[in-house]
Structure 1
Amino acid sequence: MAKSNPQSAPDTNTLITRVKNNFQESLLTVRNCMDPLAPSITAAAALMIQALLSDRKILVCGNGGSAADAQHFSAELLNRFERERPGLPCISLTTDTSTLTSIANDYNFDDIFAKQVRALGQAGDVLLGITTSGNSRNVIRAVEAAHERGVLCVALNGREGGEMTAVLAGSDVNICVPGSSTARIQEVHGLVIHCLCDLIDFQLLGQG
């Protein structure tokens, strides 16, 4: 392991400035996204609440940090968000390593979510596909599989929306976070997930 050179190490004020810059960039991104994203977040929550009230479920998928976001969202619905309520049916397609690795090994990594959607998805369900770039092939194929099963889709993506925008149907909802920084996009994705949870709880339980 290489040893750091104390003489070349940045001073504490420089490090603190970098931290503050990250906060400022995040705040600016959130502020710039609030007005343009609020309608699509509201529309996405409407699809989800319609599915839940019809005894349907929500499926979620993504890669890397987006896989963590998928599991985060699923946990908030299956367990609870900020108020006590019965668990809501939501499945993260990122958690079963035996399923994921068998599909990737026997077929193709691009199919790891699509095959699960074809097996688990029912007409009236909702798929939340999370991809920072909008170009994750396995998430795009999951959306295509969802359409085959009559599953509505919500895309949570970033930048210009990527290839995902070409496969979304008119009844789907696209929540696209503008910007070039993956970190800033993912930070907004976390806020969007909490907004969806809040809207779902509000429509089910009323004002808390």
Structure 2
Amino acid sequence: MNIKNIIEEHENTVTALKLNCIPTIEKMAAICCAAIKDGYKILFCGNGGSAADSQHLAAEFVGRFVKERQGLPAIALTTDTSILTAIGNDYGYDDVFRRQVEALAVKGDVLVGISTSGNSKNVVKAFEQAKKQGVTVMAFTGAKDSKMSALADITLQVPSTFTAHIQECHILVGHIFCNAVDEMY
């Protein structure tokens, strides 16, 4: 294991993100800020590490990021084991996020789907449901075009195909959103 190389690969991915994605990140942050300002909520979903990122980012909105401010409406659709297991059992795992979007999302909300491949079936189905309900759909993916990017209103395609570096950039961009929201208060 060459730690220096791992760090350099991370830095190269972040540099590529900076060079290629700032306009997209700015638009996405503005969408989140507008939704929060107008009284709507941000919903997050993803699997595995992306589920953890969903929970992390929702916690930054509801709790606080850096600045003391009121709690803000955000939900990680990855956290309620009773809902996840009931839907998984009764409808199938591919519907665990779709069904929650159907029940909880309203026009004006924002759904952020996080997937390094961009092809997670349960996130894709959540996107399809959100579009039916007039919810703004944002995708966090890797470099490859995907089913999620085809459905999303806006997509952050981290310029990498290496899962760990994609995930590192996803949380960085999520923190940028949190910072943008903090600046509103």
TM over 0.5: yes
Residue in 1 that maps onto 2:26:
42
Alignment check: 8 A CA contact 1:177 1:188 kept: yes
Instruction: Find the aligned partners of 1:198 and 1:164 in 2 and give their Cα distance.
Output: 25
Please report how far the alpha carbon of residue 103 of structure 1 lies from its aligned counterpart in structure 2 after TM superposition.
Answer: 0.6
**Stretches of structure 2 lacking an aligned partner (at least 5 in a row):** none
RMSD (Å) for aligned C-alpha atoms: 1.0
Map 1:68-87 to 2 at 5 A. Answer: 68-87=52-71
Instruction: Find the aligned partners of 2:150 and 2:178 in 1 and give their Cα distance.
Output: 27
Residue in 1 that maps onto 2:157:
176
Instruction: Find the aligned partners of 1:64 and 1:109 in 2 and give their Cα distance.
Output: 13
Q: State the structure with bigger RCO (CA 8 A, min sep 6), 1 or 2.
A: 2
Map 1:1-208 to 2 at 5 A. Answer: 15=1, 18-168=2-152, 172-202=153-183, 204-205=184-185
**Stretches of structure 1 lacking an aligned partner (at least 5 in a row):** 1-14
Instruction: Find the aligned partners of 1:39 and 1:160 in 2 and give their Cα distance.
Output: 19
**TM-score normalised according to structure 1 size:** 0.86
Residues matched between the structures, number: 185
Kindly provide the CA deviation profile for residues 143-181 of structure 1, in whole angstroms up to 9, marking residues without a partner as x: 11111111101111112132212222xxx2111102121
Larger Rg: 1
Alignment check: 8 A CA contact 1:42 1:199 kept: no
Please report how far the alpha carbon of residue 38 of structure 1 lies from its aligned counterpart in structure 2 after TM superposition.
Answer: 0.9
Instruction: Find the aligned partners of 2:167 and 2:3 in 1 and give their Cα distance.
Output: 17
% identity of equivalent residues: 48
